[in-house]
Amino acid sequence: MAILRVTKYGENILRQKLKPVDFKTLEPLLPKLLKDMEETCLAVRGVGLAANQIGLEYRMAVILIPQSAEENAPLTRYVIINPEILSMRGEKLEEEGCLSLPGLWAEVKRATDVTIKYTDEHGQEQVKRARGLLAKAFQHEVDHLDGKLFIDLVDPALKPEVKKAIKKLRKNWD
């Protein structure tokens, strides 16, 4: 297992819309890749990590959601391969951050209830309805796989502030 380097804002791969991956091609790589992605996500205190955030062009992500609000609660892991959001309902303005923009937080609108279709790590097609943090994580990671970042959803009036913050924060990124 290894903690991998997380790509940062400005790297081209973060703006690429990733093509669906053939599960059979990906399957032999999954055990090590998923362990590395999970270890990386935990090391940087993330909730999710898309493959392009570690420099890979696979349309997949790992999401780690606490099972309760308790500190050190066990995590439920979701592996979403070739995900597609089928429906979105509700709307909430909430603060969001991203491992590829470390230190930056901004309010964005997200659906409060989503239904997503994806292939899991065992090659099984899944359809999952999610609310709360899981709904937000699904949307965030699918956006990554579509070449979008959470800052794209920021209120246009706040974008100049966000740009200034990024310029200042970038000095500390590796």
Q: Which residues are catalytic, by number?
A: 141
Please compute Rg for the chain using Cα positions.
16
Q: How far is it, in rounded angstroms, from Cα 4 to Cα 18?
A: 20
Write down the number of H helices and E strands in the chain. 4, 7
Task: Tell whether residue 98 is among the known ligand binding residues.
Answer: yes
Task: Tell whether residue 122 is among the known ligand binding residues.
Answer: no
Structural tokens at position 45: 């205190």
Helix (H) or strand (E) holding 132: helix 132-145
Q: Mark the binding-site residues for Fe cation, compressed into ranges.
A: 98, 140, 144
Q: Mark the binding-site residues, compressed into ranges.
A: 98, 140, 144
